[in-house]
Amino acid sequence: MNITCWRISAVDRVGITLDVLRVLAGAGINIISLEVFPGVIHVQFSAASGAASRVRSQLLGNEDIKSVETSPGMPFEQRERQVQAVLDTVQEGIVAVDARGVVVSFNPAAERILDRPAATALGRPVGDVLPAAVPVQATLNSGRSFANREIYLHKAGRKLHYLTSGRPILDKAGHVNGAVVTLRDMSEVRDLVYSLTQPALVTFDDIIYRSAAMHRVVEMAKRIAKGTSTVLLRGESGTGKEIFARAIHVGSPRRQRPFVPVNCAALPDTLLESELFGYEEGAFTGARRGGKAGLFEFAHTGTIFLDEIGELTPHLQVKLLRVLQEGKVRRVGGTEERSVDVRVIAATNRNLEAMVAQGDFRDDFYYRLNVIPLYIPPLRERLEDIPPLVDHCLVKFSRRLGKKVTALAPEALARLRAYPWPGNVRELENVIERAINLARDEVIRAEDLLLAPDAAPLSYGPAAPGDLRALRAKVEKEAVYRALQQYGSVRRAAQALGISHTALLRKVHRYGLTGGQGGSSVT
């Protein structure tokens, strides 16, 4: 007996399928499966070859039968092959269960993740296959989905971190007929997030310099990049410490892994702690359901850049010391420690040695940070770097501003060389951008350069009736500006002004003092 599949094209009318079945049954044909669509009947049967030919002729004798063609298989078989191909290809582990909680599908990725062959999982209760932390039974009972639950699996003496999600399978009436669960390695999730959020890569070739002093720093940084030791970048605000941090990361074996920058002065202590270390569900009011991984976990196998490390409170210094010593983090509100493999690059413009002597910075934390110090000289100590930096800024800002400014007059260059550059490279960029806006033609002249001594002081002017609010805003803006200039960081300026760190940040953004003025977000 031969097994044959036919695709019968027919007029779409009531009774056409019955006509076909009568012919097959009358010839003693054993029907294995049948699928009917409007105008098409698929049938799989077993019969002797001669019988099949006779039945074909008999069917074609019906004027409503248009054609009878041999097909390679039934539609449902093709659908099953397509679904199985998808299940076999995806990197996520997929486990499907029926309404009774019995495993009915178990793809190769699930075999790898759960370390068991599909043959030992199919037909088993889901509780025997998946960890208890995966709430499959709750989904079967309630019909509610769950998403991105963190679970840990122990395999070959290692504790592996996974995200799991699940949703019910509903019939047309909305009744739960089963559930599908997915498992994804947390490292793959991190890679996906990083690939979507990865900033433009900075290499050592992007660092612009001509001086011998910067050449020595760059060459040292290239050697540092090949290792995994903690790096402490020292230098004044605006010297380009974050650019060096990014270049070190790209020049390292971790270049394909995440680079996570964190400004330690930009967030209040409690918020910074939860961002760095994450938190467990219910750790505090407003905590996200299921908790949240911290930036150290996200940076696993990559690099974390801790800018303005000198602004950390002793409490956070202790927690970071634990990470540097043991490579472990503990989420806020949690009891379990998680191992992380993260290279730390820190940066500061503060005198950490003086802070240690005064008791403002822990000495054990300082020594853990100061494994490889790298000092970036200020711009006033490498004036020969000004011409190439100016050329770079002319190209960059001319393109951005839509103006064709290509050169600097000799007297303008002389003014730049004579200026002390308290804001370093960042201030130079601001000066050139401002000059391009003011330039009358393609050349920047000395009068186009508004350096700090030329800048008009904040002037209150005579107060007109009803102008008290404006006058008060001007006084406040000047006070914030001067405090930021004097103390060099938001946290210290806030202490000097007698207001909270968060309140000062709001004023900084309100008056547009971020970045170039006051250094509230400086490196």
Please tell me the predicted confidence (pLDDT) of residue 520: 34
Q: How many CA atoms lie within 13 A of 234 on its CB side?
A: 12
* Rounded CA separation 60/301 (Å): 68
* Rounded CA separation 117/200 (Å): 43
Please tell me the predicted confidence (pLDDT) of residue 458: 43
Contact by Cβ (8 Å): 245, 225: no
Q: What mean pLDDT is reported for the chain?
A: 85
Confidence of residue 288 (pLDDT cuts 50, 70, 90): low
Element (H, E) at 176: strand 176-185
Tens-digit pLDDT profile for residues 236-268: 989 999 999 999 999 999 998 889 999 988 888
Please tell me the predicted confidence (pLDDT) of residue 435: 93
* Rounded CA separation 179/197 (Å): 32
Mean pLDDT of 352-376: 93
- Other CB atoms within a 10 A radius of the CB of residue 247 amount to 22
Contact by Cβ (8 Å): 321, 364: yes
pLDDT tops 90 at residue 209: yes
Mean pLDDT of 116-127: 91
